[in-house]
Amino acid sequence: MKQFDFALAIGGAAGDGIATPGNILARIFIRRGLHLYAYNAYQSIIRGGHIFLTVRASDQKVYSHGDKLDLLLCLNQDTMDRHLSLMGAGARVIFNGDTIQPGTAGEGVRLCPMPVKELTDNSKNKLVQNTVALGVTMSLLGLDFQILEDALTLQFQRKGQAVVDENVGVARAGFDHASANFEPFPDTVPSGPKPLAVWTGNEALAMGGAAAGVKFYVAYPMSPATGVLHWMAKNARELGIMVRQVEDEIAVANMAIGAAHAGCRAMCATSGGGFALMTEAIGMAAMMELPVVFINVQRAGPSTGVPTKTEQGDLWQVLGASQGDFERFIVAPTDALDAFKTIPELFNLVDKCQCPGIVISDLLISEGTFSVDPDDINMQPTIDRGELITEPSKTDGYLRYKDTESGISPRALPGLEGYVHVVASDEHDEDGILISDEFTNPHKRRKMVEKRARKFQTVAQEVPPPELEGPQDAEVTLIGWGSTYGVIKEAVEQLKVEGVTANHLAIKWIVPLHGEAVTDILSRAKRTIIVENNYSGQFYRYLRSETGLSVDGHIRKYDGEPFMPHHIVAGVLEQLAGKTDRSVPVQEIMV
């Protein structure tokens, strides 16, 4: 049976109301049980600029926004000028025929001009064209108008019946006009076995924190991490979570550490610039042996960089966060559902190891929109607080940093009877007293450094090593980390069509890396190519430093936009042909 795989894009400027039709169409797709992936390319201004929202729906799971567009909704002339030439045979282009000149379309591209003034009784509301376009879209997809009417009612009911009636009326006019004048798509839109849910990566990270038992969340707003704060603030009262927005990321990190010291699970999120301010405090959490989770949602840098564009450019920043040698977990989730599941897993690890944990996401995951089966969302995961002392004792002489065989010292919360201890940012003895008060005792310093390292080695064994996906004897092994997982997975399938067998090694856990397992897998590969969303090959440099491994080729993208599957396919083919060992895809769609 032929797979249904449909992608549409809505283009316009900030302020043109792109989000509303995008949300309505996404809701329609997921309620039919279709899988969904959406990516919004936008600028860092409130009004103006160019925004390009891509929504892809399929009866099979999709992992990226794909390569093709079947339908383009142009809300302004700029969108038409940028994207019309890229539309292929069979595609449809919807636009306001009163205000937009289409230009020359490619062969087989069907233009669908809307006489918006006529259909809306000359309405002066500019955004009414969006609702007309929704009606046209439903007709082209061969869907019943009642589905759209229900969606519009749900969207606008809080604004009153008059607003609902107006939007339903103009959508109906667009639907009827399209039915009479435009040929619909030949493929029927199927229904899946059951309705799905939809969320963004940031919402998944926040929900993962709630499921993990986070009771304190603190942040300073910084895109593209702000969505975590929004979800937490919206749901905090119901879930019993204290949420604080404070003056800067220095305060954020220190407040999170204070909450962790008091015994509650604490989390915070920012992007690279904010994470830079947090780094001294992260080292303090390591010295105090406190479990805290920090989230860095990467965007294009350095400095302010390109605030609304994606990149995998902060790997070395998180690897080197703060000064000195200390233990930390670093994990790069592969998509929204993986991000949700990773947060409770990470909290268990940092509680056991009593050290900081860092989640390294990026704009593509955190602001991407994903469908999800509600049955896959477990809000009651296993919680393991490690060696946490919760009962008072009359015994004197508690050693907070006791030098145990495992390196893990039983942790008592402040205020618990019988467990007085000192906590500070300086090096200390087993009882927490600063060793600088003893003329920097070298033996005690060495003992504490080795104790902290030993506890990490103990807990790190619980982290699963990466596994190779695909045939063992493939011609090419593609290596990626974090958000490149989905696009590489789809590229592997496209390479099959080109006659190339490929497999995929996705690295999720950056620290610990499991270098032996990675070495074993890659030493058996015929040809290795690393795929990264950065200029310098940050993961390659890290991999080589940890394992000594080299690779045969690289595919790197650093223009602010994410990979599309054909970018990777083209890179693999040109490297197999011996043309280069470093491919840099060109972004065809100017967003």
- Structure confidence by residue, pLDDT tens digits, 209-231: 999 999 999 999 999 999 999 99
The reply to whether 509 falls in a domain is: yes
Q: What is the mean pLDDT of residues 476-498?
A: 98
- % of the chain beyond a pLDDT of 70: 99
Report residue 24's pLDDT band, with 50, 70 and 90 as the boundaries.
very high
Dihedral pair phi/psi, residue 42, rounded to 5°: -135, 170
Report residue 591's pLDDT band, with 50, 70 and 90 as the boundaries.
low
Task: Say if CB 286 and CB 327 are below 8 A apart.
Answer: yes
- Structure confidence by residue, pLDDT tens digits, 182-200: 999 999 999 999 999 999 9
Q: Take residue 498 and report the two structure tokens written for it.
A: 């080109």
- Structure confidence by residue, pLDDT tens digits, 490-514: 999 999 999 999 999 999 999 999 9
Residue finishing a domain among 129, 149, 181: 181
Task: Say if CB 428 and CB 401 are below 8 A apart.
Answer: yes
Do 63 and 144 lie in one domain? The reply is: yes
Q: How far apart are CA 276 and CA 272, in angstroms?
A: 6
Q: Take residue 564 and report the two structure tokens written for it.
A: 């599309």
For residue 575, what pLDDT is reported? 98
Give the distance, in angstroms, between the CA of residue 482 and the centroid of all CA atoms in the same chain.
Answer: 9
The reply to whether 219 falls in a domain is: yes
Query: For residue 135, what are the domain limits?
Result: 5-181
For residue 95, what pLDDT is reported? 97
Do 301 and 276 lie in one domain? The reply is: yes
For residue 397, what pLDDT is reported? 87
| DSSP single-letter state for residue 434 | B
Cα three-residue angle 235-238-243, rounded to 5 degrees: 55
For residue 167, give the CATH number of its domain: 3.40.920.10
Residue finishing a domain among 460, 480, 495: 460
- Structure confidence by residue, pLDDT tens digits, 346-377: 999 999 999 999 999 999 999 999 999 999 99
Residue finishing a domain among 376, 410, 442: 376
- Structure confidence by residue, pLDDT tens digits, 538-590: 999 999 999 999 999 999 999 999 999 999 999 999 999 999 999 999 887 65
What rounded mean pLDDT belongs to the chain?
95
Report residue 48's pLDDT band, with 50, 70 and 90 as the boundaries.
confident
The reply to whether 309 falls in a domain is: yes
Do 442 and 551 lie in one domain? The reply is: no
Q: Is the confidence at residue 527, as pLDDT, over 60?
A: yes
For residue 438, what pLDDT is reported? 65
Helix (H, G, I), strand (E, B) or coil at 585: coil
Do 204 and 167 lie in one domain? The reply is: no
- Bond before 466 cis per omega within 30 degrees: no
Q: Is the confidence at residue 46, as pLDDT, over 80?
A: no
Q: Take residue 523 and report the two structure tokens written for it.
A: 């030493």
- Which residue would you say has higher pLDDT here, 235 or 588? 235
Phi-psi region of 578 (alpha: psi -120 to 50; beta: other; left: phi over 0): left
Q: Which residue is it, tokens 């989640």? A: 359
Do 326 and 441 lie in one domain? The reply is: no
The reply to whether 239 falls in a domain is: yes
- Structure confidence by residue, pLDDT tens digits, 69-125: 999 999 999 999 999 998 999 999 999 999 999 989 999 999 999 999 999 988 878
Do 436 and 529 lie in one domain? The reply is: no
The reply to whether 562 falls in a domain is: yes
- Bond before 224 cis per omega within 30 degrees: yes
Q: What is the mean pLDDT of residues 9-33?
A: 94
Do 476 and 454 lie in one domain? The reply is: no
Burial 527-548 (b: 16+ CB within 10 A, else e): bbbbbbbbeebbbbebbeebbe
- 237's CB contacts (< 8 A; 6+ apart) are none
Do 414 and 531 lie in one domain? The reply is: no
- Structure confidence by residue, pLDDT tens digits, 392-432: 987 778 999 999 999 999 999 999 998 999 999 999 999 99
Do 392 and 362 lie in one domain? The reply is: no
Do 396 and 368 lie in one domain? The reply is: no
The reply to whether 342 falls in a domain is: yes
For residue 436, what pLDDT is reported? 78
The reply to whether 192 falls in a domain is: no
For residue 1, what pLDDT is reported? 57
Task: Say if CB 470 and CB 502 are below 8 A apart.
Answer: yes
Do 428 and 370 lie in one domain? The reply is: no
> How many structural domains is the chain composed of?
4
Give the distance, in angstroms, between the CA of residue 400 and the centroid of all CA atoms in the same chain.
Answer: 37
For residue 260, what pLDDT is reported? 98
For residue 518, give the CATH number of its domain: 3.40.50.920
Task: Say if CB 115 and CB 188 are below 8 A apart.
Answer: no
Do 341 and 221 lie in one domain? The reply is: yes
Cα three-residue angle 281-286-289, rounded to 5 degrees: 120
Task: Say if CB 474 and CB 502 are below 8 A apart.
Answer: yes
For residue 396, what pLDDT is reported? 78
The reply to whether 214 falls in a domain is: yes
For residue 553, what pLDDT is reported? 98
What does each C-alpha distance from 133 to 94, 172, 348, 449 come to in angstroms? 7, 10, 48, 64
